[in-house]
Amino acid sequence: MYKIVSIPGDGIGPEVVAGALEVLNAVAKKHGFEVEIEEHLFGGASYDVYGSMLTDETLEACKNCDAVLLGAVGGYKWENLPHDKKPEAALLKLRKELGLFANLRPAKVYDALVASSTLKTEVVQGTDFMVFRELTGGIYFGQPRGYDENRGWNTMVYERYEVERIARLAFEYAQKRGNAKVTSIDKANVLEVSQFWRNIVHEVHQDFPEIELVDMYVDNAAMQVVRNPKQFEVIVTGNIFGDILSDISGMITGSLGMLPSASIGSEHALYEPIHGSAPDIAGQNKANPIATIASVAMMFENSFNRPEVAGDIYAAIEGALAAGLRTGDIAAPGEAICSTTEMTAAIVARI
Amino acid sequence: MYKIVSIPGDGIGPEVVAGALEVLNAVAKKHGFEVEIEEHLFGGASYDVYGSMLTDETLEACKNCDAVLLGAVGGYKWENLPHDKKPEAALLKLRKELGLFANLRPAKVYDALVASSTLKTEVVQGTDFMVFRELTGGIYFGQPRGYDENRGWNTMVYERYEVERIARLAFEYAQKRGNAKVTSIDKANVLEVSQFWRNIVHEVHQDFPEIELVDMYVDNAAMQVVRNPKQFEVIVTGNIFGDILSDISGMITGSLGMLPSASIGSEHALYEPIHGSAPDIAGQNKANPIATIASVAMMFENSFNRPEVAGDIYAAIEGALAAGLRTGDIAAPGEAICSTTEMTAAIVARI
Ligand SMILES: [Mg+2]
Ligand SMILES: [Mg+2]
């Protein structure tokens, strides 16, 4: 039995999470396992009831489950709150409390949507790699930091354990993917912190001799993602480089709004679409549930080690797309548009 | 009269510089001005004669001229020298001695070569923007820096004067381009050094009220270059962000080997192609001289404030390409290949 905490959140969150849970129930039925789903408030939805974006109760629930599924948080309504009360601050706090040090984002091109990429079809079709971004260290968190009238400063720092644990996670994932090639991205020709990163990644690599490890400089990597994205299978990199590279990698798929993500720690994991809460279309049955449904697939791959379940979900998504179903965000001009519930039903029907 | 120091350097350097000087003489004749060209050794070519990659004599000459034109440096022959004796170290020293704090790289798509981009023609055709990268500060130079067994660290730091001078350079360039839009790229939502960068850029912007200034986060900017490169006119950013963005920007043009660059300080300027010395085809009359010829065009735009001369050079390059001339690096499979001297002659003929 898998115990899952569901956090619909704000905006389109409840609609896309509802769709994802339908798919979750469908794969449970097909594969004969049980799921227990516990729903909790978070973000603006929580603030409006409790005056807090993240209550102790929600946090405890997230700590006592097998995986968290999150929809989206935030919206116009809570934009003018003080910085530390904003939905984004609550999300950072939740990630920190759960110790989620790795962010995983797939760059996967759906055949049916390949034309929506700004890259040529022959360059991008078949792209399918995973970016492991270190999420709680590096220059976004390093001390000292600050600015005054005459200068500004930040510190890019990595500790041994921080590099070790994410490198290990990436190699283990690569192992599960049939010993996929791992590309570690740094700027070791200029930065000492990158030379350190590279040294540690190579140390960890000694435990995975069957896996090919390639080092690449970040400026070259950004070019290579645009030049020939199919050369990548697994990318592992630090926080700021991963921020930049995972965004380019998502962009070249042509379907940014379709991409799921996982944030993983040694004890907890949280799955969510990378898109936002889209308050302008909330409650109208217009949102695209695929990114959240794909987040459930990632959950089965990464938290439950059941790639066959994940495979069923991805195949059902591709089947629905191949059958021509398009929510407004992915419809080409003139194409018929389906609703959130129609897209969900089409995917469930293919499980 | 313009006094130009020519540094052919190593590999294909002498061939492409020879081509560029022919074009320089042709525009001088057409526009009725004189040029004095003084040739100096640098890099491996200098090492083989003097045992030093950069002699005092060459350095003095570079300090006492209106602009430096550089071909390329380095090659297999000098690869195993100690780090501080390598061609790259000499180039860093030359840039530092000349105080070249800004690196300018155009992302310009030639109509005749638009098909060689991995981006779709309709996305990339017409792209023509300039990246101003700060070259002597930021995390590549900040202290403290280092690594030991258990951690690595670098410091991203900017001083007020460093941001002011490159921002001013970018705004002045934008003014010359008919008040082009300036996009300043940072990570001010997370990094204090970026918030400082943004503050100073906005201070300098007060002297250029007629210019539109847009702030953009670096991760979004990397996506936008791939999504819609035509939205950019002038980009200004720090050292590491510029390193990454200028490389992506070059890549999307589809003709990395065709791009020139300028490195500019308050008193000196150096122009060079971004490609390397390509020792494998050196001396065979196979190299593409266009990036070096375009570097001469940049010289007229930036050092001599003669955009009409630059325009003539760019038009001649486009004319030669439109007439079907292709060196090996830009020829499509099956296309006829021309030599360095044939390409040069075709461009000179169109001045
Ligand atoms: Mg980002
Ligand atoms: Mg670079």
pLDDT for the residue B127: 97
Q: Does this complex have an ipTM over 0.90?
A: yes
Give the B window 41-100 contacts with A, CB below 8 Å: none
In a domain, A113, yes or no: no
Give the residue carrying structure tokens 């525009």: B27
pLDDT for the residue A230: 98
Tell if the CB–CB gap between B151 and A159 is shorter than 8 Å: yes
In a domain, A240, yes or no: yes
**Residues forming a β-bridge with A262:** A104, A271
Distance CA B193, CA B156 (A): 7
pLDDT for the residue A255: 86
Cα-to-centroid distance, A252 and ligand 1 (Å): 14
Cα-to-centroid distance, A133 and ligand 1 (Å): 11
pLDDT for the residue B86: 86
Check CB contact of B115 with chain A, cutoff 8 Å.
no
Alpha carbon A192 to its chain centroid, in Å, reads 29
The helices-and-strands tally (H runs, E runs) of chain B is 12, 12
In a domain, A109, yes or no: no
Q: Are residues A206 and A290 in the same domain?
A: no
Q: Are residues B244 and B162 in the same domain?
A: yes
What b/e string do you get for B148-168 counting C-beta neighbours within 10 Å, with b at 16 or more? eeebbbbbbbbebebbebbbb
Give the residue carrying structure tokens 């968190």: A141
B83 pLDDT tier (thresholds 50, 70, 90): confident
Q: Are residues A133 and A37 in the same domain?
A: no
Distance CA A148, CA B196 (A): 8
In a domain, A106, yes or no: no
- List the pLDDT tens digit at each of the 351 positions of chain A: 999 999 999 999 999 999 999 999 999 999 999 999 999 999 999 999 999 999 999 999 999 999 999 999 999 999 888 878 888 889 889 988 999 999 999 999 999 999 999 999 999 999 999 999 999 999 999 999 999 999 999 999 999 999 999 999 999 999 999 999 999 999 998 999 999 999 999 999 999 999 999 999 999 999 999 999 999 999 999 999 999 999 999 999 998 889 999 999 999 999 999 999 999 999 999 999 999 999 999 999 999 999 999 999 999 999 999 999 999 999 988 999 999 999 999 999 999
Count of domains observed in chain B: 2
Tell if the CB–CB gap between A154 and B155 is shorter than 8 Å: yes
Check CB contact of B244 with chain A, cutoff 8 Å.
yes
B16 pLDDT tier (thresholds 50, 70, 90): very high
Give the residue carrying structure tokens 């760019």: B314
First to last CA, chain A: 19
Q: Minimal CA–CA distance to A212: which of A248, A244, A170?
A: A170
In a domain, A161, yes or no: yes
Q: Mutate which of B83, B124, B155 to disrupt the A interface (most A C-beta within 10 Å)?
A: B155
What b/e string do you get for A308-324 counting C-beta neighbours within 10 Å, with b at 16 or more? ebbebbbebbbbbbeee
| Residue at a domain's end among A258, A276, A295 | A258
In a domain, A107, yes or no: no
Q: Are residues B92 and B108 in the same domain?
A: no
Query: Which residue range is the domain that position B128 belongs to?
Result: 104-257
Total Cβ atoms within 10 A of residue A56: 9
Catalytic residue among A3, A66, A128, A140: A140
Is pLDDT at B85 greater than 90 in this prediction? Answer: no
Single-letter residue type at A208: F
| Residue at a domain's end among B225, B257, B289 | B257
Tens digit of each residue's pLDDT (9 = 90 or more) over B204-213: 999 999 999 9
In a domain, A195, yes or no: yes
In a domain, A173, yes or no: yes
User: Nearest CB to A153: which of B118, B120, B156?
Assistant: B156
Q: Are residues A122 and A67 in the same domain?
A: no
Q: Are residues B123 and B32 in the same domain?
A: no
Q: Using CA coordinates, name the residue in chain A closest to B240.
A: A219
| Residue at a domain's end among B257, B282, B314 | B257
Distance CA A30, CA A348 (A): 11
pLDDT for the residue A165: 98
Instruction: Identify whether the C-beta of residue B249 lies closer than 8 Å to the C-beta of residue B107.
Output: yes
Q: Are residues B251 and B289 in the same domain?
A: no
Tell if the CB–CB gap between B248 and A240 is shorter than 8 Å: no
Q: Are residues A137 and A246 in the same domain?
A: yes
Cα-to-centroid distance, A199 and ligand 1 (Å): 26
Tell if the CB–CB gap between B151 and A145 is shorter than 8 Å: no
Distance CA A300, CA A50 (A): 32
Q: Are residues B128 and B79 in the same domain?
A: no
Q: Are residues A78 and A1 in the same domain?
A: yes
**Residues forming a β-bridge with B156:** A154
Tens digit of each residue's pLDDT (9 = 90 or more) over B27-81: 999 999 999 999 999 999 999 999 999 999 999 999 999 999 999 999 999 988 8
Tell if the CB–CB gap between A140 and B228 is shorter than 8 Å: no
Check CB contact of A223 with chain B, cutoff 8 Å.
yes
**Residues forming a β-bridge with B271:** B69, B262
CATH of the domain at A39: 3.40.718.10
Instruction: Identify whether the C-beta of residue A304 lies closer than 8 Å to the C-beta of residue A66.
Output: yes
Q: Ligand nearest B216 Cα, by number? A: 1
Instruction: Identify whether the C-beta of residue A7 lies closer than 8 Å to the C-beta of residue A70.
Output: yes
Cα-to-centroid distance, B244 and ligand 2 (Å): 6
Q: Are residues A128 and A207 in the same domain?
A: yes
Alpha carbon A136 to its chain centroid, in Å, reads 15
Q: Are residues A77 and A156 in the same domain?
A: no
| Chain B residues closer than 8 Å to A91 by CB | none
B88 pLDDT tier (thresholds 50, 70, 90): confident
What's the gap in Å between the CA of B4 and the closest CA on chain A? 31
